[in-house]
Amino acid sequence: MRLQRFLRSGRSIKQEPLFTVVKDITGFFPKDLSLYTRVFTHTSMEETDAEGKKINYERLEFLGDSVLNTIVAAHLFKELPQNSEGSLTLMRSKIVRRDFLNQIGEGLGLIHHLASNVPQENYGSDVHGNLFEALVGAVYLDCGFDACAAFVHKCMITPHVDLIKLHNKVLSYKSLLVDWFQKKRLRYKYDVVSDNGAEKTTYYKAKLWLDNKVIATARATNKKKAIEKVSKRAYFQFQNQIKSIQSRH
């Protein structure tokens, strides 16, 4: 739905539709609705305030990204007292990765409240994570760090973050393989070529060579995905031999 953009004179803040939306999503009473108006305004609206400054979620997204990283870092610092700096950094990257934030934002239904001149079907999946980060930024400014941390724990960390499962999650199969290849002094090479065939969509075919032999092939809609896909297929051929490397990741 398209939210009412500004407060009507003479109306209580609690009577505003945006007040109810924010309260239902966050679980607390918002104080400064102008912050949340920005959260739910897309750049395509081309709105500005009285000073000519743009009204959209991008600046709040920037702030929310930093606040979210701090909240997650504090959580990991407390819950993983034996982990090194490098291990904590890697664990944080597994939590604040883009696809996971997209899932959180989509689960909260944030896009349904976004005012935009762009049809919803034309958005990329990252809009969900962007809106979530913007909302985190708005909550931080409106209610402070402690309230923001409580919100992030309630909607993301407590229900969705399993540190045991995350410990074994692989962010990049290519990185694992290359690390192992280099340690074993093995010669490897990735080849990626266009492979459209009769299809209208552009595809790329990746081959992974090891000591002059193709050990895996894969196909995807861009080069990066094709390389990661072929790396994943190759990884499972050697997983028993590189468990020690995987455990450090």
Q: Rounded to whole angstroms, how far apart are CA atoms 24 and 224?
A: 39
Q: Side chain identity at 154, as an amino acid letter?
A: K
CA 114 vs. chain centroid, Å, equals 18
Among the options 16, 65, 142, 228, which is catalytic?
Answer: 65
Q: Rounded to whole angstroms, how far apart are CA atoms 101 and 105?
A: 6
Active site residue 79: no
Active site residue 51: no
Kind plus residue range of the DSSP H or E element containing 47: strand 47-48
Among the options 61, 133, 142, 228, which is catalytic?
Answer: 133
Give the relative orientation of helices 58-79 and 126-143 as an angle to the nearest 10 degrees. 80
Q: Which residues are catalytic?
A: 65, 133
